[in-house]
């Protein structure tokens, strides 16, 4: 089945540790995105990538890093510099050449920093 996978669904880490969240898609989409969602709030864009080996900061990039070495993979690292990393993290992708903003979302990873 085509889609976006994020693993794991729940992740626990100690404060001060870096952690990498996985996002993989087999939809052959060029663009991929990372969002953060806090309880009761909307989504905020962290980073996005339009093509391999290229990415741009979103609205809340501080304390995060990404890489895009392969088209199908866009991992997000939450560094120890992120002051409040506990949140629900969502990865999305969108196909090339579309005339509308349809993004396909993964199931999300809920990160808890203890």
Partner 1 sequence: DAKTTQPTSMDCAEGRAANLPCNHSTISGNEYVYWYRQIHSQGPQYIIHGLKNNETNEMASLIITEDRKSSTLILPHATLRDTAVYYCIVRVAETSGSRLTFGEGTQLTVNP
42 interacts with partner 1 by CB under 8 A: yes
2 interacts with partner 1 by CB under 8 A: no
* Residue among 109, 58, 107, 63 nearest 83 (CA): 63
Q: How many residues bind partner 1 (CB under 8 A)?
A: 33
Q: What phi and psi values does residue 49 have, to the nearest 5 degrees?
A: -140, 130
Query: Are the beta carbons of 22 and 6 closer than 8 angstroms?
Result: yes
Length of the chain: 114
Distance between CA atoms of residues 69 and 80, nearest Å: 23
Contact region for partner 1 (CB under 8 A) — 11-19, 64-72, 73-81, 98-106? 98-106
Q: Which of residues 49-78 bind partner 1 (CB under 8 A)?
A: 50, 58
CB of 34 to partner 1, least distance (A): 12
Residues in contact with partner 1 by the rule CB under 8 A: 4, 29-31, 35, 40-45, 48, 50, 58, 88, 90, 92, 94-108, 110
């Amino acid at each position: 089945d085509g889609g976006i996978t994020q693993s794991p669904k729940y992740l626990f880490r100690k404060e001060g540790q870096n952690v990498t969240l996985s996002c993989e898609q087999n939809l052959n989409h060029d663009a991929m995105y990372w969002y953060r969602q806090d309880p009761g709030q909307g989504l905020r864009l962290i980073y996005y990538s339009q093509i391999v080996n290229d990415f741009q900061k979103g609205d809340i990039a501080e304390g995060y890093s990404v890489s895009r070495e392969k088209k199908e993979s866009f991992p997000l690292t939450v560094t120890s510099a992120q002051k409040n990393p506990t949140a629900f993290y969502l990865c999305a992708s969108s196909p090339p050449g579309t005339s509308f903003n349809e993004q396909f979302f993964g199931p999300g990873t809920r990160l808890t920093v203890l």
